[in-house]
Structure 1
Amino acid sequence: MTDALPPRATTRQIPRLIQDRRWWLLPVVLWGLLVALSLQMQVTRISEQSVEVALEGARNMFRMVMLARNWNASHGGVYVPVTSQTQPNRYLEHPRRDVTTTDGVALTMINPAYMTRLIGNMSTEDGGVSFHLTSLHPVQPANRADPWEVKSLQAFERGAREATSIEAGPDGPELRYMAPLIVRESCLSCHEKQGYKVGDIRGGLSVSQRHAPIEAASAEAIRQSALAHGAAFMVVVVIGWGLLELLRRRWLELAGKMAELEEAHGQLLQSEKMASIGVLAAGVAHEINNPVGFVGSNLGTLKSYSEEMIALLEACRAGRATEADFAAADFDYLKTDLADLIRESRDGLERVRKIVSDLKDFSRVDQAQWQDADLNAGIECTLNVVWNELKYKAEVVRAYDPSLPRVACLPAQINQVVMNLLVNAAHAIAERGVITVRTGHDAEWVWIEVEDSGSGMPPEVQKHIFDPFYTTKPVGKGTGLGLSISYDIVRKHGGRIEVRSEPGQGSCFRVCLPVRTSSRGE
């Protein structure tokens, strides 16, 4: 959906992204995808961090159990009263496994393995973390490894330091952790007869805990992260949409102003063209009036001569002519004067024809396409068209390069550039001076130079001579668009305009065009 454009604005002036709000959905979608990607990464990180925290807890529990086991082993086992929960360990072969105190209390030895199993049972009954002491070759059947523990113990044999995984449990998913048990010196009192040596892997201790509490903690963090991401998405969308709407309105206003400026610029260009046409019209009219004037005068004289001759012929036919009448008519003079009148009239008409032909070549109204043009011929016809502007101000010196190659261009526009430079050169000369027109070329460029012996320009003026509307002429004497238009035309042709000038030393403008042939049809 688009709003009505401001007066004189066109859709060409406004980018589609700004003009049609539907395009704004594209950055919204991209921003949504970016936020979704960020949320997904955050969710993954939260889940990983929650699991890592739980694993670190399992590691700490493993360390605590190992500290208790090492303390027990360092004391050669500990004695506790025999109860229903602490029955003598029938798998423990020790001469002092069971003892009785002096007051008759029966005690039994709790070795590290038995103590670990008792602690694990208590933890399981408490509904917390459970421990399981196991081995690939257990002495007690209760310590037999389950499939996951078997896989972990085999990994320890290959050098793994720990094993972690989320596995299915009786009450739902469980986070499982397991690390190897390394034989120490204090362990040999019970396990040396099994063939173990210090440093061997005797088995492992697995720690299992329910995964549901971990997921619950992660879910709360994920919910907060989702809310934060959603809020960030909405804030950026609302602010961005508002800024785009503000930009859109400003752009629409600017488009209207630019359209008005283009219209004003077009009117000024038209004024400049009309001013150029005025200069051409005045000069052409003056150049045509002279030959037309004396042709008209000659025709008047020819009419008078013809009337005299017709009257004499009528008199002869009627028989009234006398010798005095023939003597009065100077036929020798008439014969010479008539030839001169006809010759002068033909020269005047030829001058008019040449001016009209040069004017046609100057404008090239019938050839507004790119073509290979003879620049020397174009300069010559331009000189003839503006001759009235030049002949009273300067002597024109022609220094054409006879081997100048033809150049692909719009001839009428190049002629307009030359005309602007010639007229400016004439205006720069206060009294009669010299205007030199040169052409030349090298392997890459052809050039046209218009040099005058006028007043020249200081550096601060040279910086602005190609700026639109800049002029050093009095108010009302120029629009300041001639050199700007010429600059644009030359740039359109892939060329450049160079100028060198010093105050009091005149100026030289060089128009450089690339050497290329064949019409481009642009």
Structure 2
Amino acid sequence: MKLTGKLVFSITVVLIIIVLGTVNFFWVSQKDLLMQQAHTQAKTLFEMLIVTRQWVAENRDEIKPVPAVATKMLSEYARVMTDFRFHITSDMLINPENAPDDFEKRALAKFRNNAREYHEIITVKKEHYYKYMAPLYVNNACMECHEYQGYEIGDLRGGISVTLPLKDIEATLHKNNRNYYVIGFLSFLGIVATVIFLVKALVLRHIDRLTKAAQSYKTGDFSQEVELKTGDEIQELSEAFEIMRQSILENEDHLKSELKKVSTQYTSVLTELKERNDELKTINTFKTDILDSLSHELRTPLTKIIAYSNLLIEKGLNCETEVKDKALDAVNRSAKLLNTLFNEIITLSRLESNQHPYHFIPVELKMMVKDIMHLLEKEISDKKITTKINIPDDAMLCIDGESFRHVLTNLISNAVKFNKPEGSITITYSENETHKALAFTDTGAGIPANELNRITERFYRASNVKYSFSGTGLGLSIVKRIMDGHKGFLEVSSEEDKGATFKIHIPRQLKCSSSLHGDE
């Protein structure tokens, strides 16, 4: 007789379990229905508030309070007359009393990601509350009051949160639960007693033999055979068990090999994911630092542009030539400074996020230096600076041409800009067993000794020149990161008012490559 026949009688008992599951399902459904009722009630209150606000907004000529004030007054009435609460809030506050709480901040964050509503169940003084919030968007009626804040139609203005107490709903649930528990407990006792007897008599005593065999297999002992003659599914299971035992014995070595391979791949994937995650964290931190610094550095040139442009607008055609020239010159210099700042920000961003592909090629160093000196010929001539280039004609460097030109341009232009009239610039090439070096020596303003260790920080400018010379404070930061990309380093020595020497070191073992990534 098959096991199925033996269990026919027990199906009757199993029906009790199904009934119990059904009862539980209805209990859960009731709870969900009550929670949905709370959600519907909160949403309805929100929609009533929206209708009220819109009516107030569209009838401003007859109704004195603006929608926000009307909502605030209704909220105060609700606190006195009902047990629910609602609150209007926004990221851009006009009234500090409307500041969002933690729940509302989470909801506003969801709305900025296009969520249409947000809800939670919270506990306050051991009582549960259903909190619901939906967004408010700017429409035509809102623009009269909020256009000055820079809003446009369709923008997220804020939201209204509704708080409902759940004590009545919970009381109903607790009352029903008691009945469910009594029924469930009695049914459980009867079902458990019957099922234990049937399963033990029909299944467990046979399964026990299979379990003991399985425990021996778990320790690596596959010698124990299992043969059950029951004439039902248990016998079929024991036969399948024996086939599995034979298969395990035949394929154990293969399985171990495959498992080792999968484990290695899994470890590799985890390592790669960790590296990518660290890289993303670094990029995110860099972007945050750049935005913070950029907001500060933009303020001065933008202030000058706005101030002088307002002056020109105010004076108009009657503006004196001297004043107009001074204003236009200030606007022009500030605009150039902003252009330089943005270009260097982009360059620095690419370098710090490893988005610049280094392509190392052989370059004639003296020719590159002369090309850059030629571009700065006017500035050198205007200050009557004497230049001396001590670089052999055959001096070659294996470098990334694009980024290294930026290094040379920055160091030479700094030597010109911060130099004294009729000063001098000396560019000297040298090499040793490990590095090739290029030194830039000037007779300019120099750098205070206590500031030498900070000159490669982003936006940092030495105190003795920051008010006398224009600049962004990013040049040497870019130079340092390019040198890092070349596996080299920057060395600086200086004495204030007597000049400075900037020396860059490039490793000799840096091999030229035809690869775009420079890794061959």
Question: TM-score per shorter chain, which class?
Answer: 0.3 to 0.5
TM-score after normalising by structure 1: 0.33
TM-score after normalising by structure 2: 0.33
The structure with the greater share of residues assigned to helix is 2
- If you compute each CA radius of gyration, which structure gives the higher value, 1 or 2? 1
